[in-house]
Structure 1
Amino acid sequence: MPPSPSPSSPSPPWTGTAALLLLLLAVPLPETRWGAHGPRVAGALRVQEQFATPNRTNNFAVDRVSGRVYLATVNTVYQLNGTLAAEVELNTGPVEDNLLCHAPQLPQAPCEHPKTPTDNHNKLLVLDPGQGVAVVCGSVYQGFCELRRMDDISRVAVEFPPRGEKTVFPSMLNVAANHPNASTVGLVFRSHGGRTRLLVGSTYTGAGTPFFPRNHSKEDLRFENTPEIAIRSLDVRDLSRLFTYDINPSEDNVFKIKQEVKTKNKLNFVHAFARDAYSYIAINNDAKTGHKESQPNSILARICLDADGPKRSNSGSESRKLTESYIQMPLQCGPSGNIYNRLLSVFPADVYDHDARRPYLFGVFSRSDKKSALCAFRFADIEEEIRQGRRNCSNSPSSDVQVLDSVIQGSGAACIQKGNLVVSSKKLLYDDPKVS
């Protein structure tokens, strides 16, 4: 068992059926006693403030500068101050919608299917303090996103698509999952070139999935071309490229599973977070649910965030393609034969062991008997597994670390042993010259 997280580390999010947000205050006890496996007593928690609404909580985010809390529920987004007092309330639904209709923001896209009042489940709520905007994406209108002002969530920060804009594509509008039970995760980051980008992981909900209407329609408005993972433009100064895949050719910035193997890779996204120059995405592969309970279904994927890097060439420069930097490994919680094989929540945090700062990844897992467990993984171990997988030409069937060459559409991650890479010491993220 690892040491306890530092008191300064943020607490993992609390979720429930109803929208009840609690502000917890850590109360240190007079003395902290350390045992062989960490502190025996660290403190206690008590409720300081609370905010309740009648609707189900979907997401929340906190602005570290202002202390504001943004709470997204079904059909409503709230802006709260640092003591959880309501400042602004934004109604986002119900709206007139139909899963088989294009988003109404798409010019000249009439829909012949009847529309009915549809609840708007918030799928993504992320903050971009650098531009002063909150990215708010719902399940209606094919997963349409809005950019709203962080100082007043009820006000649109950027009109998108711009009024009168004719060059609008469905891929710019279909960002989040368009079904209440389908997952979406995301994070905002800036590339080395200074451009703001949005990484999104979204469950595929089109034809052949449980999410698609069972009316034998051939229309698939979650679109075959909508990728499971994508890096999108989020630069408000360039509205013509907003939410596009932000690299030309755009296929370099998408991770799309081939149609013929989508049923074997039913991805349910849990959380996305950044660490160093990488993004990590925690995933469950629901295609394995109910089969071989001893096998882990939980996955931790890693991709390069710096999509501005130079393309791979004979000199061994790092590739810009998202698919070529993608690599994944299983997250196993529990010993063989007693594995908790579904990830419920994951949270990175630094812990302190006798004044030594060590990064960990904490995960809450469950299994079919409804029992759950908390497991902690050292990032040093995770990084070493990935390095070793690269060295071992990780698309081999015998490797636990995979790059999914046979699954993704387009070129996948190249094995280290396939080329004689020469990397200057200035470009190394680790001391290992074989790390791509």
Structure 2
Amino acid sequence: MPPGTVCCLSAWTVQTLRCLVLVTVGWPLFPAFRGVAGGSDSSHSDLYPTFMGNNTAFEHLALHPDPQVGWVYIGARDRLFQLNPLLQLRVQDDTGPVTDSPECLPPVTESNCPQARETSNHNKLLLVDPFSRELITCGSVNQGICQKRNLTSINQVLFSTERPVDTQYVAANHPNVSTVGLVVRPHPDRQPLLFVGRGYTSSHPPISTRNLAQEPIFSYEETAKLAVAGRLSEYDHHFVASFAHRHHVYFFFYRRDLKSQSREYRTYVSRVCLDDQAYYSYVEVPLTCRSRAGKNYNLLQAVKLGFSKSGARSEASEILLGVFSTHLTSSPRPSEDSALCIFNLQDVDRRINSTRDLCYTQMGREAGSEAAYIEYEVKSNCANLPEVSPTLRHVVSGFMVNSAEFNPQLA
């Protein structure tokens, strides 16, 4: 199978897994870090440091990698802020408004883009590169290009391409379309990489790996992307979060399930090996959060990796806590009806691994029925390779292309 193809479990073959659901009807869901700065209660401001920016919409927050330094970075609409540990303003840099149009490629000029207008620059990514000690900022203007900035003084731009190519467009170029990312280093002797997940605004890949050290910076030309052969707009990915854990990178998002008759939105967790430069190991697993009465909360809103027992730090105790909501009628927008689900990370990984094996050794079939299939219209099929030993399977797992369905029920 070529790089970027995906296998998924069919819904009717998924084994039941257990999770705990706490349902709160009518509890407003909290969005990603976003708010308008304003006044605060005087009793609170006396107890805690407070930073206020009038008429400023805060969108992302990051911390300096050295706790002894304690600097706080805030990405906002048209502004970046650098604060000291007491939340006092140290550096501010204006990033917008700028003359721009989502229909035009940068650099935008009056001659090549007469429809350009003054446009606010929403902060889409704010990431600290702890290896190079740089701040990565990506905005919604100029097709979502990124910059590297000095962690000591964020108004010092270390890198910004003046004539980017399409593989350097990183973030979604719309203020309401999601973008998530993280900076990781596959091995201590390798350069760090930027993993990005972005919602649909054009034909750019939903998940990609970007160069941070070699030219062209922020491009996926020499790295990897998730291949989607067609109908990317119909999947309509909405990304929620991403993180690296042990040897894998995980993405959490919801999208349309085009294999179902209803084409409803479902939540997925995807996994790819940290050092996989071709996405052969890519896997998708739908996550289901369901109440005892059978109500389906299908839109993930927030997720956190934690531990099931206080003080117990083992693989068996690793859990995913997810806040889910139902969707408004005929819309991917979340309602105020919400629930909290807890998933065991080991169960998720086991389901991913079993689907990988089904796709590569059983032609994607289990007990005579289809149990795995290729997603995203990639022209490929599950294989029928000979089963290998557990040791060899572990070695070759990084070169497999898969996706799985994970459908837990209420405990």
Same fold (TM over 0.5): yes
- Which residue in 2 is equivalent to 1:212? none
2:235 aligned with 1:272: no
2:53 aligned with 1:94: no
Residues 407 and 83 of structure 1, relative CA distance in 2, 3 Å threshold? same
**Relative to structure 2, which stretch is displaced further, 152-161 or 341-350?**
152-161
2:343 aligned with 1:386: no
- Which residue in 1 is equivalent to 2:144? 143
Shift of 1:246: 5.2
One-letter amino acid of the structure 2 residue matched with residue 383 of structure 1: D
Shift of 1:396: 4.5
2:385 to 383, 394, 418: 418
Shift of 1:169: 2.3
One-letter amino acid of the structure 2 residue matched with residue 195 of structure 1: Q
2:363 aligned with 1:407: no
One-letter amino acid of the structure 1 residue matched with residue 254 of structure 2: N
- Which residue in 2 is equivalent to 1:51? 51
Residues 258 and 89 of structure 1, relative CA distance in 2, 3 Å threshold? same
8 Å CA contact 1:328, 1:403 repeated in 2 = no
8 Å CA contact 1:200, 1:230 repeated in 2 = yes
Shift of 1:159: 4.5
CA distance in 2, matches of 1:148, 1:243: 14
Shift of 1:262: 2.0
Shift of 1:198: 0.6
The alignment partner of 1:82 has SS state of coil
- Which residue in 2 is equivalent to 1:333? 289
8 Å CA contact 1:296, 1:340 repeated in 2 = no
One-letter amino acid of the structure 2 residue matched with residue 418 of structure 1: L
CA distance in 2, matches of 1:296, 1:398: 26
Residues 17 and 402 of structure 1, relative CA distance in 2, 3 Å threshold? farther
Q: Give CA-to-partner distance per residue, 1:227-252, whole Å, 9 cap, x none.
A: 111101001xx3x32112253xx5xx
- Which residue in 2 is equivalent to 1:61? 62
Shift of 1:343: 0.6
The 4+ residue runs of structure 1 with deviation greater than 3 A are 19-22, 353-357, 394-399, 401-404, 408-412, 419-430
Shift of 1:427: 6.0
CA RMSD of aligned residues (A): 3.7
Shift of 1:13: 9.3
Aligned ranges for residues 164-243 of structure 1 at < 5 Å? 169-172=165-168, 174-192=169-187, 193-206=189-202, 224=203, 226-235=204-213, 238=214, 240-243=215-218
Shift of 1:403: 7.4
Residues 325 and 435 of structure 1, relative CA distance in 2, 3 Å threshold? closer
Aligned ranges for residues 286-435 of structure 1 at < 5 Å? 286=256, 297-307=266-276, 320-322=277-279, 324-335=280-291, 337-353=294-310, 355=312, 357=314, 358-368=317-327, 369-393=335-359, 396=364, 405-407=374-376, 409=378, 417-421=384-388, 424=391
- Alignment gaps of 5+ in structure 1: 3-11, 23-45, 207-223, 308-319
Residues 341 and 13 of structure 1, relative CA distance in 2, 3 Å threshold? closer
8 Å CA contact 1:16, 1:57 repeated in 2 = yes
Residues 102 and 90 of structure 1, relative CA distance in 2, 3 Å threshold? same
Shift of 1:340: 1.1
The count of residues paired between Structure 1 and Structure 2 equals 349
Q: Give CA-to-partner distance per residue, 1:91-133, whole Å, 9 cap, x none.
A: 111000111111118xx99614332110001111111021121
Question: Which structure exhibits the higher relative contact order, with contacts defined as CA atoms closer than 8 Å and separated by 6 or more residues?
Answer: 2
Q: Give CA-to-partner distance per residue, 1:56-105, whole Å, 9 cap, x none.
A: 22211112412211111111111112222211111111000111111118
CA distance in 1, matches of 2:274, 2:342: 24
One-letter amino acid of the structure 2 residue matched with residue 57 of structure 1: F
- Which residue in 2 is equivalent to 1:70? 73
Shift of 1:422: 5.9
CA distance in 2, matches of 1:246, 1:185: 20
CA distance in 2, matches of 1:52, 1:422: 59
8 Å CA contact 1:264, 1:287 repeated in 2 = no
8 Å CA contact 1:97, 1:116 repeated in 2 = yes
Question: What is the TM-score normalised by the length of structure 1?
Answer: 0.70
One-letter amino acid of the structure 1 residue matched with residue 321 of structure 2: F
Shift of 1:200: 0.8
One-letter amino acid of the structure 2 residue matched with residue 333 of structure 1: C
8 Å CA contact 2:143, 2:172 repeated in 1 = yes
Shift of 1:353: 4.3
8 Å CA contact 1:103, 1:141 repeated in 2 = yes
CA distance in 2, matches of 1:279, 1:67: 27
The alignment partner of 1:51 has SS state of coil
CA distance in 2, matches of 1:20, 1:419: 63
Q: Give CA-to-partner distance per residue, 1:186-243, whole Å, 9 cap, x none.
A: 111112351121111111213xxxxxxxxxxxxxxxxx3x2111101001xx3x3211
Aligned ranges for residues 103-142 of structure 1 at < 5 Å? 103-104=106-107, 111-142=112-143
CA distance in 2, matches of 1:385, 1:345: 22
Residues 21 and 387 of structure 1, relative CA distance in 2, 3 Å threshold? farther
Residues 392 and 286 of structure 1, relative CA distance in 2, 3 Å threshold? closer
8 Å CA contact 2:146, 2:160 repeated in 1 = no
Residues 428 and 77 of structure 1, relative CA distance in 2, 3 Å threshold? same
Residues 81 and 131 of structure 1, relative CA distance in 2, 3 Å threshold? same
Shift of 1:359: 1.4
The alignment partner of 2:144 has SS state of coil
Q: Percent identity?
A: 28
Q: Give CA-to-partner distance per residue, 1:245-265, whole Å, 9 cap, x none.
A: 253xx5xx1113222x32431
8 Å CA contact 1:231, 1:246 repeated in 2 = no
CA distance in 2, matches of 1:47, 1:276: 38
8 Å CA contact 2:321, 2:341 repeated in 1 = yes
The alignment partner of 1:182 has SS state of coil
8 Å CA contact 1:127, 1:135 repeated in 2 = yes
One-letter amino acid of the structure 2 residue matched with residue 277 of structure 1: H
CA distance in 2, matches of 1:423, 1:351: 28
One-letter amino acid of the structure 2 residue matched with residue 243 of structure 1: F
CA distance in 2, matches of 1:402, 1:112: 50
CA distance in 1, matches of 2:357, 2:90: 53
